[in-house]
A and B are shown apart, each in its own frame.
Chain A
Amino acid sequence: MSTPPRRATGVSTLFLYLVLSMFLFTLSLLALYYGVVLYTRGQIDEALIWLSSGAGGMGISFLMTARLRKGMAPPPATPFQNVVTIVECSKDAFKSLRKFSQGDFIFKKAEKCPKCGQPMTITSVYYEEAEKKPHPFRWLK
């Protein structure tokens, strides 16, 4: 197989990202401190400017770190675990749901019906998703 992408040489982007984030964090901390000092001196207008700049800078710094963490997140674990098979008996309408097993396919003759002893048929194979969060833009529907 071919080779993976080469790591960056020199100053890595990761390092640059961290340095910038830390630098912004320090500046924001100083701005917040300055804002508090000005507030105690009674210079409310100037204090508000410094406080809001500090809070904004802090927010951007946290966002940068969060973005970095997102990029470093591990790949998703094995998906589609919850695949189920529906087996039905055509004689007495007995229906059962079980976990999918290798070799199952729709309209395959399956195990015997526990009620009448006739072979049942697989009528459906589907993936059932875990409980989902409500759609953020559901009001658009």
Chain B
Amino acid sequence: MSILLRIGLMLFSVGQFPPGQNTAQSVLWYLASFIVFIVFFMFWNRIQIRFWLREIEAALNKIKFMRDESRRISIETIKSVGKPKEDPAPRVDQFLEYLFIEPTSMDPSGIVQKFDHLLDVRDLRFKDEVRVIAPGADEAQLNTLENLLEASMDLNLIYKVVRHFYLFGKKTMSLYIIMQLQMIMPLLMQIVEAYMGAAHAFSKGQPIGDGAGAFVAAKLMHGNSFKKIAKDMVISEVPIDGRKVFVLKAEGPGGNVGKPGDAIKAVIDKYKKKVSMVVMIDAQVKLEGEDTGDTAEAIGAAIGGVGTEKYKIEESIFKHKIPVNAILIKQSIQEAISPMKKEVIKGVENAVAVVRRLINDRTKKGDIVIVAGIGNTVGIGQ
């Protein structure tokens, strides 16, 4: 019998337990405690790293599952909507690997126009690509399919970046890389689940939370005639309490955000100082503790994205010193890109009432007002 087994038996034999009956046992107990303490003291970092790696690995497998699931949903939707003659899987896989290279910011002058141009090129390229993959889809379906593929593309990118840092951290056993990854993992998982929700919504053409602003505009313009004003944007002239109100939104019901900057600029360029107010309605990421669907009023251009559209709007309103008001409909980042919740619908109804109140309070009869509903208009007509 080995010496270790003898010591073990001596330490843990129930007959001789508890220790402290004789000096030898006490010494062995203190020695064992000391060894455990030293082992933990010296190797705790490595043990902790292994725990963290295990957690990251579990999360990474979940991300992989969701990435594969969104790819499957994309392919199935393309097959049912686009009626392709050949298997779309290889082209979808190629699409998921697309990257966007930002223009250099070393010389910031003119970067907005460069960004705008590249985004236009990207959009055109994506649409052409989707048209080839899904030849049977109409224009609205093409837009929604493009959004669906973009959600899958983002999931693929997140998976690859997390996997990169996981493998790199494991290779170098760097505490700092692994610790940072483990710490941001809950936030990343929320974003991944949100993208998964987006994939589900886009595959069925359901409105998403981000479409709250577009829904407000649609409610205001519903029943009135509308026409196209800029790329993927529609405008309707709506009489509200004696004012001439131009309501703008992206063209639905396909997945689209349009170019609200160009649309607002076109109206302001036409009516110049006659425009007495611009009201923008958009979804806003709420803070923890705030309720979904709550509305808040703000001053300034309420629009997200890269910033090119915001720049155009600010340039136009500043040129003619037009006041710009905003109404924000609060929701979490997950709610913004998942199917629209009932609470958001209540926020939309409230926002419509606020728009009417703002027009009444802050303009006179005969004034021209621009109301722009910002957001993805998937599942929302006009």
Contact = CB atoms under 8 A, between A and B. Distances in A.
Note whether A and B form a binding pair. yes
Contacts of A72: 58
Contacts, number: 120
A107 B64 CA distance: 37
A1 B71 CA distance: 10
Interface in A20-61: 20, 30, 33-34, 37-38
B286 interface: no
B344 interface: yes
B342 A106 contact: no
Contacts of B167: 5-6
Contact of B60 (A5, A13, A79, A137): A5
Dominant SS at the B interface? Answer: helix
Contact of A37 (B17, B62, B205, B338): B17
A108 to B, nearest CB: 6
A6 to B, nearest CB: 8
Contact of B339 (A2, A6, A71, A83): A83
Interface in B5-22: 12, 17-19
B226 to A, nearest CB: 11
A125 B206 contact: yes
Q: Pick the most buried of A17, A102, A141: most chain B CB atoms within 10 A of its CB.
A: A102
Given A105-B253, A126-B340, A127-B339, A2 B160 contact: yes
Nearest to A81: B200
A17 B253 contact: no
A125 B340 contact: yes
B345 interface: yes
B207 A106 contact: yes
Interface string A88-127: 0000000000001011111110000000000000001111
A76 B59 CA distance: 12
Contacts of B201: 80
Contact of A80 (B55, B289, B339): B339
Nearest to B170: A8
Interface footprint category on B: 35 or more
B381 A105 contact: yes
A125 B339 CA distance: 9
Interface stretch (B45-53, B129-137, B316-324): B45-53
Nearest to B339: A127
Interface in B214-250: 215, 218, 222
Contact of B47 (A16, A104, A137, A140): A16
Contact of A106 (B55, B65, B215): B215
A141 B289 contact: yes
Contacts of A17: 50-51, 54
A128 interface: yes
B193 interface: yes
Interface string B186-226: 00000001001100110011110000000100100010000
B297 interface: no
Interface in B236-284: 252-253
B197 A79 contact: yes
Given A71-B58, A105-B252, A127-B338, A33 B65 contact: no
Nearest to A90: B223
A125 B342 CA distance: 9
B197 A108 contact: no
Contacts of A141: 289
A30 B18 CA distance: 9
Contacts of B341: 126-129
Given A79-B200, A129-B341, A71 B47 contact: no
A105 B222 contact: no
Contacts of B314: none
A108 B381 contact: yes
B306 to A, nearest CB: 27
Given A34-B18, A79-B200, A107-B381, 18 more contacts: A1-B71, A1-B93, A4-B64, A17-B54, A20-B47, A76-B193, A83-B204, A104-B379, A105-B252, A106-B215, A106-B253, A107-B222, A125-B206, A125-B379, A126-B339, A126-B340, A127-B340, A128-B342
Counting from the closest, the 3 A-B pairs by CB-CB distance are A71-B58, A105-B253, A107-B381
